[in-house]
Structure 1
Amino acid sequence: MSKPKLSIFFGAGAEIGYGLPSGGKFALEIFRCSNEEDKEFFRQQIQNINRMSQIATQWLPDNYSNKRLNVFGKGEFEGLIASSLENRRNNILTYLNHFDEKVTYLLQHWYVNDEIIRRKFTEETDEQIGEMLYSQSIRLNEKLASQVPLFDSEYFSAFLRILAKHPQDQQIKRIVRAFLELLVGAFGQSLVSQLNEELFTQAPDELSVFDDLSGIFSLNYQGVGQTGMEIVIEERPLDIDEGTEGLTIFKELGRTILEEIYCQAMDYQALIDSHFRYLYNPKAHWAKFTRIAIFLHTVRRYITQYVQVDPLKISGGPGYYHDLLNLREQYEVKAIGTTNYNNFVQQVISETALGETPIYHLNGSVNEYYDPFKNEILTNPTHEEREGRILVPFMFTQSGIKPLTSVEMSRKYVELYDHFVQSDVVCVIGYAFNGDDGHINGMFRSLVEQEHKRLFIFHYKNDTRSEVQVEREYKEKLRLNSSESLKVFLVNQNRIANENIWFENILNEFVTH
């Protein structure tokens, strides 16, 4: 009997076990990262352009070498908040509505555990966490929401009790305000969207004046989410342990919770999309051109210089990439696709029998650069290839605009898709099928609905949802008409699903079918 043919697709979640950050954490760190070094590097690129060349005389604006270079900064916070509340407010509300459950899970992996937190709270307030709740004392306007589980939360009430004991402490006040801003902002955005979409619930079709009035309401994004954004991006973590005083512990706990919320809800697609088009047309908007170009350099430098990985795990495992070495006895691996920018998977398998397996980086990689003037991708360009050109790291960060028109990139998608079609099963690990990766999601949808291929998703279990519930979510994300060819497995941090290492479940599915 021949081995089942397998293709595997990795997202950011597959690398967390190796010490890399999640996609949300990665996004926050990029905006925390200083960009002065990247700004200077890009300035040198600009200065080295031959002023008589085609790129200088036809593509760049007049006096380009003396123009100011702009970068993303605090001025973009409002846009980040607006995009997050518009597109991911459900993530925010889900977290706030299950506040105690989320905090309890967070404390399982934090500096101090739940027991110590409760003891420190008692020392600080002479009360027990949960003894005093605010569900009967605080009411949100019913036009925003009829039920607000956050006010019945033990831990949120604990933050309010700490603030009541220390009313002059500005940091704990800012943390509480940040939670409230996110709550009001998420509910407020829902109300604004509903009003704009249903301003007139009934009106004559022949009178277009009623349609002209749609979309007139908006939210003041300076008043919602700004405080939390400043806390998570501008403030550094505090060093704490079980000997730290209670007030300081709650300050760091509040900052950590906010960071986790923003990691799950931060959406900068609109910000990137509003700038990416100018990468091809610097004359039209020089400031936006320089912002996106320097931002891409910052992304690459952060990945290559600041992302902390466990070198022992990269060399010897354990992890999903090392599992490839074990599963090859049972399966024939056709191809590997990834949205990750680094080359760790190649490092792990290069000296093995899997070394010839094709690997496709669908969102770019740290070794690739893009020439927007010529719409060309270069891999590990030499000094001579860089000379006289403006090159930016080729990485698709959170964006709906992808430069897929280059022949090299189009070929990657086609080749990987062909390998998928030749496989018996395609496995997806650590990839969330978010909306900003619609170009990839469409490929998987076609694979299931047009090619009738089986798609196995290995989902990291970090909440109480069942396989059926998670499967329904992926079906919706992929916009599938049926989940018949879709199978979800819940895996733990040790990559175990149904009491077996994840890839053993694939073979079990073949046996049962």
Structure 2
Amino acid sequence: MEKPAVSLFFGAGAEVGYGLPSGGQFALDLFRVPADQDKAAFKEQLKALDNTSAYATKWLPDDYLKKRIHVFGKSDYEGIIASSLEYRKDDILTYLEQLDQHVLRLLRSWTVREDDVREAFRAETGHELGQILYGQAVRLNSRLAESVGLFNSAFFSAWLKLLELHPDQTGLQHGVRAILELLVGACGQRLVAKLNEEVFETAPDKLSVFDDLSGIFSLNYHSVGQTGMDIVLGEPAQPVTEEDAPVDIFSALCRTVLEDMYSRTLDYQALVDSHFRYLYNPKAHWARFTRIAIFLRTVRRYISRADAHLMEKIVAGPGYYHDLSGLAQAVRIAAVGTTNYNGFVRELVHRQFPEVPVYYLNGCVEEYYDPYCNLILEQPTTEELDAYPRLLVPLIFTQSGIKPLTSVTMSRRYVELYDRFEQSDVIAIIGYGFNGDDGHINGLFRSLAEAGKRLAIFHYGSESLSVLKSEYQTKLRLSSADALDIFTVDSSRSVAGMPWWQALLEKYESIHPALAPRI
């Protein structure tokens, strides 16, 4: 009897165990990578074009070889912060409200153990960590927020106490200021949004003049969040040990928390969106065209460099891709989809199952894109790239890239994956967060769930299954969560002590009687 069909979908979280960065850390790292090498390669690509062709004459600006090549830099930080505060303000405030929980999570894998951190604070202040709280001593303006849990945080209060004792400790001072900037900026953005929506609490519907005054307030982002960006994108953090001075330990911890918060809340979609359109019209704004073209090159180089460094380790495993061999003993793997950009998925899946198709929904480092013809080149050879007559950019959708979705190749890719998912008995989703900027992919899963297809979502953490089910229902904008099955998985890829793929099989034995004899 034919085995049941299971399809899989992998996000960035599926590769963390292999040593690759999470999606948020990936975003931060991109802005740390120097672009000089990519600028040079882009200039060589320009020089190789036939400047007598209609392409160069009509599509590129006059004297394009003499024009300056631009890249993203520090001047673009303000746009990133503005986008983060506008679209991720609730995430920022939630992180700050739960600051102690995040610090304890980070301490589980930090260079200094939690007990040593607590002992350092005790030795420096004579108090236990958590005995001194600033909830009564510091209050935010009530117009910004009625209550702020940050000042009742044991660790934030510890940083404030150490600043009282060491006012000249600039590292800690800058870290605390950066957190306060994000707090005030997020609260301010929420207040501005509310004011713009409610300039007039009541007004006659027939008088549109009142509507004309909506949206008149804005927040000045000139200084908000800049301190934190300078810290996390500046010099690498210096490691500390329990032998270091307590104030230095807490300063380093503050920086670690700040970087974690940025990695979880940084949103550069607006920055990419404001430039991506110029890939199709370099004459309109050459600076923005070159910024996005070189940025995509930098993204590809960063990923490829990590790939080369980790390839030996990744091939050896273990990891989710290697676990598929266990799953395949009981089911037929119908298809694999991914939002990741590297070639590991295809490489490792095809080593085990050459017949299983792998679909890259956000592009990958092995593909290139011709914006002039809206054409995708899949795995071209070096010779084909060198001989190509037009400018190419790596096909990598970071947080944007809507136009390539309209290319025939990409459209067919989405349809084929959807059809294979629809023909599967179960779809397992691992390491994918269903974030808002992946709405095109979320819509695919929403359609499958509404059609009654079961989605098995593997969530890293130990939260309540009922709470998680409600959260994923909200993210997918479903009227019912009946099609969702949530599994909480730990760092060893286990669900309640059982390998994730075994938990998947066991779950569907009980809820799919028709499949039980075959599993």
Q: Residues of 1 paired with 2:168 and 2:308: CA distance?
A: 38
Instruction: For 1:135 and 1:89, locate their aligned partners in 2 and report how far apart those are by CA, in whole Å.
Output: 22
**Aligned-pair CA distance for 1:310:** 4.6
Q: Matched residue of 1:221: which SS?
A: coil
What amino acid does structure 2 have at the position aligned with 1:487?
A: D
Structure 1 residue 406 displacement after superposition: 1.4
Alignment of 1:323-472 (within 5 A): 323-352=323-352, 354-378=353-377, 379-387=379-387, 388-399=389-400, 401-449=402-450, 451-461=451-461, 465-472=463-470
CA distance in 1, matches of 2:344, 2:364: 11
Shift of 1:131: 2.2
Task: Using the TM superposition, name which of 180-189 and 289-298 deviates more.
Answer: 180-189
Cα deviations by residue, 1:238-287 (Å, 9 ceiling, x for unpaired): 12122222222222111110000001100011111111111011011111
Number of equivalenced pairs? 509
Distance in 1 of aligned mates of 2:112 and 2:308? 22
Cα distance in 1, alignment partners of residues 386 and 417 from structure 2: 29
In structure 2, distance between residues paired with 1:19 and 1:173? 32
Contact 2:427/2:454 (8 A) holds in 1: yes
Cα distance 1:71–1:324, how it changes in 2: closer, same or farther (>3 A)?
same
SS at structure 2 position matched to 1:324? helix
1:400 Cα offset (Å): 6.2
Q: TM-score, normalised by structure 1?
A: 0.96
1:97 partner amino acid:
E
CA shift in 2, pair 1:194/1:400, >3 Å: farther
Q: 1:510 aligns with which of 501, 508, 511?
A: 508
Assess if the C-alpha contact under 8 Å between 1:60 and 1:283 holds in 2. yes
Paired residues of 1:400 and 1:438 also in contact (CA < 8 A): no
Distance 1:296 1:443 in 2: 26
| Post-superposition offset of 1:402 | 4.3
SS in structure 1 of the partner of residue 485 of structure 2: strand
The separation in 2 between residues aligned to 1:56 and 1:386, in whole angstroms, is 17
Q: Write the deviation string for residues 453-512 of structure 1: whole angstroms up to 9, x where unpaired.
A: 111100101xx5311111111111111111111111111111111332111222223221
Contact 1:325–1:349 (CA under 8 A) maintained in structure 2: no
Which residue of 492, 495, 499 maps to 1:494?
492
Runs of 4 or more, structure 1, over 6 Å off, are: none
Deviation at 1:62, TM superposition (A): 0.9
Three-state SS of the structure 2 residue aligned to 1:209 is coil
Task: Rate the CA distance shift 1:384–1:489 in 2: closer, same or farther, 3 A.
Answer: closer
**How far apart, CA to CA, are the structure 1 residues paired with 2:170 and 2:299?**
33
SS in 1 for 2:335: strand
Matched, 1:270 2:270: yes
Q: Is the 8 A contact 2:196 2:215 kept in 1?
A: yes
Does the 8 A contact of 1:9 with 1:338 survive in 2? yes
Report which stretch shifted further, 237-246 or 179-188. 237-246
Q: What are the equivalent positions in structure 2 for 1:154-303 lying under 5 Å apart?
A: 154-303=154-303
RMSD: 1.5
Give me the whole-angstrom Cα distance separating, in 2, the residues matched to 1:19 and 1:40.
30
C-alpha offsets along residues 267-314 of structure 1, whole Å, 9 cap, x if unaligned? Answer: 011111111111011011111100000000000011111468655541
Write the letter of the residue equivalent to 1:186.
A
Secondary structure, counterpart of 2:207 in structure 1: coil
Mapped to 2, the partners of 1:385 and 1:138 lie a distance apart of 60
Q: Deviations over 1:318-352 (max 9, x none)?
A: 21000101110111000000111111123223333
What is the SS of the residue equivalent to 1:41? Answer: helix
Q: Distance in 2 between matches of 1:53 and 1:512?
A: 65
Give me the whole-angstrom Cα distance separating, in 1, the residues matched to 2:48 and 2:79. 33
What is the rounded CA distance, in whole Å, between the counterparts of 1:297 and 1:124 in structure 2? 48
In structure 1, how many angstroms separate the alpha carbons of the residues matched to 2:248 and 2:176? 14
- Check if 1:17 corresponds to 2:12: no
Taking structure 1 as reference, are residues 306 and 505 closer, same or farther at Cα in structure 2, changes over 3 Å only? Answer: closer
CA separation of 1:184 and 1:429: change in aligned 2, threshold 3 A? same
CA 1:165 to 1:510, structure 2 compared with 1: closer, same or farther past 3 Å?
A: same
Structure 2 CA distance for aligned equivalents of residues 356 and 241 of structure 1: 50
Structure 2 CA distance for partners of 1:311 and 1:59, relative to 1, 3 Å: closer
Task: Report the more deviating stretch, 490-499 or 416-425.
Answer: 490-499
Alignment of 1:116-131 (within 5 A): 116-131=116-131
Per mean C-alpha deviation after superposition, the further-off stretch among 88-97 and 23-32 is 88-97
Matched, 1:87 2:77: no
Separation in structure 2 between the aligned mates of residue 350 and residue 433 of structure 1, nearest angstrom: 26
Q: 2:197 and 2:403 mapped to 1: Cα distance? A: 29
* Counterpart-to-counterpart distance in 1, 2:337 and 2:403: 17
What's 2:474 paired with? 476
Contact 1:269 1:400 survives alignment (8 Å): no
Report the CA distance between 1:57 and its aligned residue.
0.7
- CA distance in structure 2 between the aligned counterparts of 1:309 and 1:108, rounded to whole angstroms: 26
Whole-angstrom CA distance in 2 between matches of 1:239 and 1:351: 39
Q: Equivalents in 2 of 1:66, 1:308: separation in Å? A: 35
Q: C-alpha separation between the residues in 1 aligned to 2:235 and 2:64?
A: 35
Q: Which segments of 5 or more consecutive residues in structure 2 lack a partner in the other structure?
A: 512-519
In the alignment, structure 1 residue 152 sits paired with structure 2 residue 160 = no
Cα deviation code 1:155-202 (max 9, x no counterpart): 000100111111122221111111111111111111110001111110
Residues 314/439 of structure 1: CA separation in 2 closer, same or farther (3 Å cut)? same
State whether residues 20 and 306 of structure 2, in contact with CA within 8 Å, keep that contact through their aligned partners in structure 1. Answer: no
CA deviation vs aligned residue, 1:337-389 (integer Å, no higher than 9, x gap):
0111111123223333x122100111111110111112111122433443332
Q: Which shows bigger deviation, 27-36 or 494-503?
A: 494-503
Would the aligned equivalents of 1:368 and 1:394 in 2 still touch at CA under 8 Å?
yes
Question: Do 1:427 and 1:458's aligned partners in 2 also have CA atoms closer than 8 Å?
Answer: yes
User: % of aligned pairs identical?
Assistant: 55
Distance in 1, matches of 2:384 and 2:351, equals 31
CA distance in 1, matches of 2:509, 2:183: 48
Further displaced range: 343-352 or 423-432: 343-352
Equivalent residues of 1:396, 1:402 under 8 A apart: no
Decide whether the 8 Å contact of 1:369 with 1:381 is kept in 2.
Answer: no
Amino acid at match of 2:429: V
- Please tell me the residue identity of whatever aligns with 1:301: R
Matched residues in 2 for 1:256 and 1:307: separation? 25
Decide whether the 8 Å contact of 1:340 with 1:363 is kept in 2: yes
In 2, Cα distance between equivalents of 1:153 and 1:454: 41
Is residue 177–residue 227 contact of structure 1 (8 Å, CA) maintained in 2? yes
In the alignment, structure 1 segments of 5+ residues that lack a partner are: none
Shift of 1:417: 0.7
